[in-house]
C-alpha cells in the first residue's frame, strides 16, 4: 500500500501537489458521506435515544428511561406484530426455492424464451402498492378470482383478508409473488454461469436429476443463493406497503408487523407517540442487526480473500 | 447446461414443454391479466356481476381517458417524475465519487466506511422515520418534492456505493497507475479514465434506482401529503378512495401508475438485469 500513497513525482512543488493523492479520496467521499450521515446514520442514533423519551412530536420530549420498553412487554399488539414478523421472515424464504424451481423450468433454449423470462420477471417491476391492490381483489370474498376457483371445485367461500388467522398468510403470498420473480432472475443468471464441463463430467458419472442438482448445481449457485437470501430477508423485514394497502393492519390488528405497528403508533390519528414508535423500531432494528452482522461478516471474509 | 436441453430429450416431452410454458405464464400473471381486463370493461359489467366474463363492450379509451383527464393522476405522475429523476441523478453522481474513492484508494478506514454504507442500506426504514421526518420538517421541506428527493438520494447512496465500488474494483487497476505515472491529476483520472468505463454501471444503477424510487410508498406517505407533492404510489390510494368500487377506473389507474417502471424495464432490460444480479456470479 505504501507505493500507492507515495507522491508520484520527486519534483512535486507544492504541498497540495504532494498530498493530492492522499487527499483525493476524502474529497470524493465528502458529499456522499455527509448526506449519508445526516439522513441515515444519525437518525439511527437519534431513534435509539428517542426510545427513552415520551414525545408527541410537538412539545418537549420527556425522559422516561425504559418505560417504553417495559410497556412493550405487556403490549398484546406488539406481541402479535413480532410474531407476524417471524412468520414473514420464515415464509418469505420460500421465494428462494420457488425462484430456483422457476429458473430451472425456464433455463432452456427454445424460441421466445427470452420474452418468457422477462414476462415471468414482470411482477417484480410493478410497485407493491399495485401488487397489494391486485391481490386484495384476487382474495375478495364476493367476486375474487380465488373464491371463483374454490367455488368451481365445490369449496365454500374463503374471506382471506377478513380472517385473523389467514390474513398474514394471504399477504405473505402476495409478497412472495414479486420476491419469487426476483430470486428467479438471480438463479437464471447463476445457471448461465454454471460450468458446463463439470455438468458433463457429473453426467458421465451417472449423476442426474435431483442428485445432480443437489451435489453439482446448487454448490455452484452459492453466490446467487447468498444474494437471494440477503434481499429476501430484507424484503421480509421491510414489509409495509402490502399490509398498508391490503388490510391496513386489520382485521383487529391481526396482520400488523413491527414496521407497520411502529408507523401506526408514531403517526396515529389518536396522537403521535414518537418515543414508543422509536422503541418498536429499535426492536425491529436489532432483529435486522443480526442479519446485517452476518452479511457484513460474509462480505468481510470475501474481501480478505480479494486483493 | 442444467437441466438437460429440451432438444436432447424425446419429441413428445419437447412438445409438452413448449405448450407448458405459455400456460404457466398465464397462470403466473393471472392477477395482472385480470386487472388489465378490468381496465377495459364498462361500468355496467361490475353492477351486473360480470366480473370475470368477457367484457360486454370495449371501454378502454373511456376508462383511461377518465384517468388522464378527469382525475389528479397526471399530477401525481408528474410529481413522481420530478421526484424520481433528480434522485437518480443525485444518487448516481454521489456514488460515482464514493465508489471511486473506496474502490481505488487504500487508506485507513476504507473498509469501515464501505461497511457503513452497506449496513445503512440494509437498515429498516422505520428506525429512520421519526428523525428524518423531523429533519425534513426543520428544513421546511415537509410535503415538498425536494424533501423527498434529498432523503432518497442519501439513502440510495448506500446501495449505489456498494454497487459502484465493486464495479470499479473489477476494472483493470493498471489503467489508473499508468495515468498516475504520467502525472495526471486525481480528479482527471476520475473524469477521463474511470468514468467512461463506468457507463454500464451507471446505466444499470439508473434503471434500478428509477424503479425503486418510482415504486416507493412508505416515504411518500411519511414525508408528503396531498396532490401537490405526492407521487403516484401514494396518489393511487386517494384515487381509489375517490372511485371506490369503480373497479374499471381503479384498474386503469393502477396500470397507468405501474407502467413507467415496466417500460423502463423492457427498454433497458439488459442493464436492469445486470444491475440486479451483480454479484450473483463469481
Cβ–Cβ of A39/B107 closer than 8 Å?
Answer: no
How many independent structural domains does chain A possess?
2
For residue B116, what pLDDT band results from cuts at 50, 70 and 90?
very high
Counting other chains too, the contacts that A59-65 makes at CB distance below 8 Å and 24 or more residues apart are A61/A274, A61/A275, A64/A275
Q: Rounded distance, CA A174 to CA A94, Å? A: 12
On whether both A44 and A80 belong to a single domain, the answer is: no
pTM: 0.91
On whether both A112 and A12 belong to a single domain, the answer is: no
Cβ–Cβ of A199/B1 closer than 8 Å?
Answer: yes
Counting other chains too, the contacts that B189-195 makes at CB distance below 8 Å and 24 or more residues apart are B190/A28, B190/B97, B190/B100, B194/B100, B194/B104, B194/B168, B195/B96
pLDDT at A306: 61
Judge residue B274's burial from the number of C-beta atoms within 10 Å of its C-beta, 0-12 exposed, 13-18 middle, 19 or more buried. middle
Which residue range forms the structural domain that includes residue A33? 2-50
For residue A87, what pLDDT band results from cuts at 50, 70 and 90?
very high
Q: Rounded distance, CA A173 to CA A249, Å? A: 16
- The mean pLDDT value for A139-168 works out to 88
Cβ-nearest to B115 among A106, A123, A296: A296
Q: Rounded distance, CA B119 to CA B218, Å? A: 20
Phi, psi at residue A62, to the nearest 5°? -110, 130
Give the range among A13-27, A221-235, B59-73, B256-270 with minimum mean pLDDT.
A13-27
Cβ–Cβ of A39/B1 closer than 8 Å?
Answer: no
pLDDT at A2: 44
Q: Rounded distance, CA B279 to CA B119, Å? A: 17
Cβ–Cβ of A285/B17 closer than 8 Å?
Answer: no
Please say if the pLDDT value at position A3 is more than 60: no
Question: How distant is the alpha carbon of residue A14 from its chain centre?
Answer: 50
Residue A199 lies in a domain: yes
Residue A191 lies in a domain: yes
Cβ-based contacts of B51 with chain A (< 8 Å): 143
Percent of chain A with pLDDT over 90: 62
Cβ–Cβ of A40/B131 closer than 8 Å?
Answer: no
Give the range among A29-38, A169-178, B40-49 with minimum mean pLDDT.
B40-49
- The mean pLDDT value for A285-301 works out to 92
Please say if the pLDDT value at position A174 is more than 50: yes
Cβ-based contacts of B127 with chain A (< 8 Å): 43-44, 47, 278, 281-282, 284-285
Residues 6+ apart with CB under 8 A from B167: B99, B103, B198, B201, B278
Q: Rounded distance, CA B156 to CA A235, Å? A: 16
On whether both A170 and A233 belong to a single domain, the answer is: yes
pLDDT higher for B114 or B53?
Answer: B114
On whether both A229 and A267 belong to a single domain, the answer is: yes
For residue A111, what pLDDT band results from cuts at 50, 70 and 90?
confident
Cβ–Cβ of A138/B233 closer than 8 Å?
Answer: no
Q: What is the dihedral of CA A228, A302, B198, B106, to 10 degrees?
A: 150
For residue A24, what pLDDT band results from cuts at 50, 70 and 90?
confident
Cα–Cα separations (whole angstroms), residue B121 to A41, A153, A178, A284: 10, 46, 20, 15
Q: Which helix (DSSP H) or strand (DSSP E) does residue A274 occupy?
A: helix A274-305
**d(CA A230, nearest CA chain B) in Å:** 9
Residue A63 lies in a domain: no
- Mind listing the pLDDT tens digit for each residue in B154-211? 999 999 999 999 999 988 889 899 998 988 888 999 999 999 999 999 999 999 999 9
Is A25 near chain B, with CB under 8 Å?
yes
Average pLDDT, chain B: 90
pLDDT at B226: 84
Residue A141 lies in a domain: yes
Record the cell numbers describing residue A75, joined without a space: 403490549
CA gyration radius for chain B?
24
Cβ-based contacts of A145 with chain B (< 8 Å): 30-31, 34, 52
Please say if the pLDDT value at position A234 is more than 70: yes
Shortest CA distance to B264 belongs to which of B230, B219, B213? B213
CATH of the domain at A84: 1.10.3720.10
Record the cell numbers describing residue B133, joined without a space: 421526518
Is B69 near chain A, with CB under 8 Å?
no
On whether both A80 and A225 belong to a single domain, the answer is: yes
Please say if the pLDDT value at position B27 is more than 90: yes
Cα–Cα separations (whole angstroms), residue A287 to A82, A85, B123: 10, 10, 10
Instruction: Answer for the pair A42, B131: CB distance below 8 angstroms, yes or no.
Output: yes
Instruction: Answer for the pair B71, B253: CB distance below 8 angstroms, yes or no.
Output: yes
Residue A55 lies in a domain: no
Please say if the pLDDT value at position A85 is more than 50: yes
Residue A61 lies in a domain: no
On whether both A41 and A124 belong to a single domain, the answer is: no
Shortest CA distance to B124 belongs to which of B155, B145, B153? B155
- The mean pLDDT value for B42-63 works out to 84
Percent of chain A with pLDDT over 70: 93
Cβ–Cβ of A40/B120 closer than 8 Å?
Answer: yes
pLDDT at B243: 82
On whether both A14 and A76 belong to a single domain, the answer is: no
Within chain B, where are the H helices? 11-28, 30-38, 43-47, 60-69, 73-104, 110-122, 126-138, 145-169, 173-181, 186-188, 195-197, 199-214, 218-223, 232-242, 247-267, 269-276
**d(CA A250, nearest CA chain B) in Å:** 17
On whether both A221 and A273 belong to a single domain, the answer is: yes
Please say if the pLDDT value at position B1 is more than 50: yes
Cβ–Cβ of B101/A25 closer than 8 Å?
Answer: yes
- Of chain B residues 41-60, which have a CB less than 8 A from chain A? 49, 51-52
- The mean pLDDT value for B204-229 works out to 93
**d(CA B48, nearest CA chain A) in Å:** 12
Counting every residue, how long is chain B? Answer: 282
Q: Rounded distance, CA A202 to CA A59, Å? A: 70
On whether both A165 and A41 belong to a single domain, the answer is: no
Please say if the pLDDT value at position A1 is more than 50: no
Residue A60 lies in a domain: no
Q: What is the ipTM of this complex?
A: 0.91
Residue A64 lies in a domain: no
On whether both A84 and A39 belong to a single domain, the answer is: no
On whether both A99 and A154 belong to a single domain, the answer is: yes
For residue B215, what pLDDT band results from cuts at 50, 70 and 90?
very high
pLDDT at A53: 93
Is A122 near chain B, with CB under 8 Å?
yes
Cβ–Cβ of A118/B261 closer than 8 Å?
Answer: no
Record the cell numbers describing residue B98, joined without a space: 464514493
For residue B242, what pLDDT band results from cuts at 50, 70 and 90?
confident
On whether both A272 and A188 belong to a single domain, the answer is: yes
Cβ–Cβ of B123/A292 closer than 8 Å?
Answer: yes
Counting every residue, how long is chain A? Answer: 307
pLDDT at B240: 84
pLDDT at A13: 60
- The mean pLDDT value for A233-251 works out to 91
Record the cell numbers describing residue A23, joined without a space: 487527499
Name the closest residue on chain B to residue A298, using Cα atoms: B115
Amino acid at each position: 500500500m505504501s507505493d500507492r500513497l507515495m507522491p508520484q513525482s520527486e519534483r512535486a512543488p507544492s504541498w497540495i501537489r504532494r498530498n493530492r493523492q492522499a487527499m483525493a479520496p476524502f474529497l470524493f467521499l465528502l458529499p456522499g458521506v455527509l448526506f449519508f450521515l445526516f439522513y441515515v446514520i444519525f437518525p439511527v442514533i437519534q431513534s435509539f435515544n428517542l426510545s427513552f423519551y415520551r414525545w408527541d412530536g410537538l412539545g418537549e420530549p420527556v425522559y422516561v428511561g425504559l418505560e417504553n420498553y417495559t410497556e412493550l412487554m405487556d403490549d398484546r399488539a406488539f406481541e402479535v406484530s413480532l410474531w407476524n414478523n417471524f412468520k414473514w421472515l420464515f415464509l418469505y424464504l420460500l421465494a428462494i426455492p420457488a425462484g430456483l424451481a422457476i429458473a430451472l423450468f425456464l433455463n432452456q433454449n427454445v424460441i421466445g424464451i427470452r420474452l418468457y423470462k422477462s414476462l415471468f420477471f414482470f411482477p417484480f417491476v410493478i410497485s407493491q402498492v399495485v401488487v397489494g391492490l391486485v391481490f386484495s381483489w384476487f382474495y375478495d370474498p364476493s367476486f375474487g378470482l380465488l373464491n371463483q376457483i374454490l367455488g368451481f371445485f365445490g369449496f365454500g367461500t374463503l374471506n382471506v383478508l377478513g380472517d385473523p388467522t389467514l390474513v398474514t398468510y394471504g399477504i405473505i403470498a402476495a409478497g412472495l409473488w414479486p420476491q419469487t420473480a426476483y430470486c428467479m432472475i438471480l438463479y437464471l443468471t447463476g445457471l448461465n454461469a454454471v460450468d458446463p464441463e463439470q455438468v458433463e463430467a457429473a453426467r458421465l458419472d451417472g449423476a442426474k436429476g435431483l442428485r445432480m442438482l443437489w451435489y453439482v448445481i446448487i454448490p455452484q449457485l452459492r453466490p446467487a443463493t447468498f444474494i437471494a437470501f440477503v434481499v429476501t430477508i430484507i424484503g421480509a423485514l421491510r414489509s409495509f406497503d402490502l399490509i398498508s394497502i391490503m388490510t391496513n393492519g386489520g382485521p383487529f390488528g391481526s396482520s400488523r408487523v413491527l414496521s407497520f405497528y411502529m408507523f401506526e403508533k408514531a403517526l396515529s390519528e389518536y396522537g403521535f407517540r414518537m418515543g414508543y414508535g422509536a422503541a418498536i423500531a429499535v426492536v425491529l432494528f436489532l432483529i435486522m442487526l443480526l442479519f446485517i452482522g452476518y452479511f457484513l461478516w460474509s462480505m468481510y471474509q470475501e474481501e480478505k480473500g480479494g486483493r | 447446461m442444467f437441466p438437460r436441453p429440451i432438444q436432447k430429450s424425446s419429441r413428445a416431452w419437447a412438445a409438452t414443454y413448449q405448450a407448458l410454458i405459455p400456460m404457466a405464464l398465464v397462470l403466473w400473471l393471472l392477477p395482472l391479466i385480470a386487472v388489465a381486463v378490468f381496465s377495459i370493461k364498462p361500468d355496467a359489467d361490475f353492477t351486473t356481476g360480470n366480473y370475470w366474463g368477457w367484457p360486454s363492450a370495449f371501454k378502454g379509451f373511456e376508462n383511461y381517458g377518465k384517468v388522464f383527464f378527469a382525475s389528479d393522476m397526471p399530477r401525481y405522475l408528474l410529481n413522481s417524475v420530478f421526484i424520481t429523476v433528480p434522485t437518480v441523478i443525485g444518487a448516481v453522481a454521489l456514488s460515482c465519487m464514493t465508489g471511486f474513492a473506496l474502490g481505488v484508494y487504500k487508506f485507513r478506514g476504507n473498509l469501515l466506511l464501505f461497511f457503513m454504507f452497506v449496513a445503512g442500506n440494509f437498515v429498516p426504514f422505520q428506525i429512520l422515520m421519526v428523525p428524518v421526518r423531523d429533519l425534513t420538517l426543520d428544513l421546511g421541506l415537509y410535503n415538498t418534492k425536494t424533501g423527498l428527493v434529498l432523503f432518497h438520494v442519501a439513502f440510495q447512496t448506500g446501495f449505489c456505493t456498494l454497487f459502484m465500488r465493486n464495479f470499479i474494483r473489477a476494472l483493470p487497476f493498471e489503467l489508473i497507475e499508468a495515468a498516475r505515472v504520467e502525472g495526471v491529476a486525481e480528479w482527471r483520472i476520475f473524469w477521463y479514465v474511470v468514468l467512461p468505463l463506468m457507463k454500464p454501471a451507471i446505466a444499470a444503477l439508473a434503471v434500478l434506482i428509477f424503479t425503486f424510487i418510482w415504486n416507493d410508498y412508505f416515504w411518500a406517505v411519511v414525508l408528503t401529503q396531498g396532490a401537490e407533492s405526492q407521487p403516484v404510489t401514494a396518489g393511487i390510494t386517494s384515487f381509489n378512495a375517490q372511485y371506490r368500487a369503480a373497479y374499471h377506473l381503479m384498474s386503469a389507474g393502477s396500470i397507468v401508475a405501474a407502467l413507467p417502471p415496466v417500460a423502463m424495464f423492457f427498454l433497458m432490460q439488459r442493464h436492469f438485469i445486470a444491475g440486479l444480479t451483480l454479484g450473483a456470479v463469481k
